[in-house]
């Protein structure tokens, strides 16, 4: 694992966007693994700037997102499809049909999950996967548990995640209780992984991974220590400085 400790959120975002743009310039048909949440917003802003000011070209890029709430359609402002359209896709020249976000309204969710993994494999696999981390150490919606799933699956969200995400909803009762998420195995298949973390609330999870260097399903992000090309880009607060 490579660790980069940056001064602040702005520097994290620029470092991550720099790594993505390097890949996109080298491979115009690269496959990006994308994340939602507040953490990657700065990275997306920087990618939009690079597209507008420097002509960074996404016309042949494909993307797969990590997760989506069950029951929310893409036109729901709290859905992750809506987030991706508004925070990134609508502002760059990526072709919408080349962007994939799990369908939270699929009729057969189990079948959808299986097909999502197959679609990623058929496309050639994710070249670079961006991840945030939950304050409880989750990645995507792989929540701390005695067991973790390998492939994409339907998960019941933990109380801590519902609590973390209620800020985006009118009330805690409006937060969906289930989501579709890539499994740890799906995430680990990416050729390169970048995990971003900023702020004090992430410090405990980061410390337990970076200092303890132990694998535990109680901190799902710790399994990333097994990946051959993973970079943690964190700010001083998330590093506990």
In this chain, which of 16, 23, 32, 39 binds ligand PGA, going by CB under 6 A? Answer: 39
138 is catalytic: yes
Write b or e for each residue in 53-86: b if 16 or more Cβ atoms lie within 10 A of its Cβ, otherwise e.
eeebebeebbbbbbbbbbebebeeeebbbbbbbe
Angle formed at CA 132 by CA 129 and CA 135, multiple of 5 degrees: 150
Nearer to ligand PGA by Cβ, of 30 and 220: the residue is: 220
Nearer to ligand PGA by Cβ, of 62 and 202: the residue is: 202
Nearer to ligand PGA by Cβ, of 56 and 197: the residue is: 197
The number of beta carbons lying within 10 Å of the beta carbon of residue 169 is 14
159 binds ligand PGA (CB under 6 A): no
Q: Which stretches of 41-145 are DSSP H helices?
A: 41-54, 80-87, 109-123
Q: How far is the CB of 220 from ligand PGA (least distance, A)?
A: 10
209 binds ligand PGA (CB under 6 A): no
Q: How far is the CB of 140 from ligand PGA (least distance, A)?
A: 7
136 is catalytic: yes
What's the rounded Cα separation, in Å, for the pair 134 and 144?
A: 10
Q: Total number of residues binding ligand PGA (CB under 6 A)?
A: 6
Q: How far is the CB of 135 from ligand PGA (least distance, A)?
A: 8
133 binds ligand PGA (CB under 6 A): yes
Q: Distances from the Cα of 187 to the Cαs of 33, 184, 198, in angstroms?
A: 9, 5, 21
Catalytic residue among 98, 136, 142, 165: 136
Catalytic residue among 67, 68, 164, 235: 67
Q: How far is the CB of 97 from ligand PGA (least distance, A)?
A: 26
Of residues 185-204, those binding ligand PGA (CB under 6 A): none
DSSP state of 128: E
Angle formed at CA 213 by CA 212 and CA 214, multiple of 5 degrees: 90
Q: What are phi and psi of 95, to 5 degrees?
A: -85, 125
- Chain residues in the site for ligand PGA (CB under 6 A): 37-39, 132-134
Residues classed as catalytic: 67, 136, 138, 143
């Amino acid at each position: 694992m490579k660790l980069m400790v940056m001064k602040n959120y702005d520097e994290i975002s620029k470092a991550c966007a720099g790594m993505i743009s390097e890949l996109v310039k080298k491979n115009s048909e690269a496959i990006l693994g994308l994340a939602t949440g507040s953490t990657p917003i700065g990275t997306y802003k920087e990618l939009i700037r690079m597209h507008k000011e420097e002509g960074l070209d996404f016309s042949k890029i494909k993307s797969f997102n990590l997760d989506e709430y069950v029951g929310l359609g893409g036109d729901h402002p709290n859905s992750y499809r809506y987030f991706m359209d508004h925070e990134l896709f609508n502002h760059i020249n990526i072709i919408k049909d080349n962007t994939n976000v799990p369908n939270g309204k699929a009729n057969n969710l189990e079948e959808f999950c299986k097909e999502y993994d197959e679609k990623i494999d058929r496309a050639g696999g994710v070249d670079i996967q961006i991840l945030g981390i939950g304050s409880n150490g989750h990645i995507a919606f792989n929540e701390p548990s005695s067991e973790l799933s390998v492939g994409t699956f339907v998960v019941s969200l933990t109380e801590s995640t519902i609590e973390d995400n209620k800020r985006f909803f009118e009330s805690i009762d409006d937060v969906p209780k289930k989501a579709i998420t890539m499994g740890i195995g799906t995430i680990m298949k990416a050729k390169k992984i970048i995990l971003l973390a900023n702020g004090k609330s992430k410090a405990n999870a980061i410390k337990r991974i970076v200092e303890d260097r132990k694998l535990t399903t109680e901190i799902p992000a710790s399994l990333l220590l097994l990946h051959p090309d993973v970079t943690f880009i964190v700010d001083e607060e998330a590093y506990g400085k």
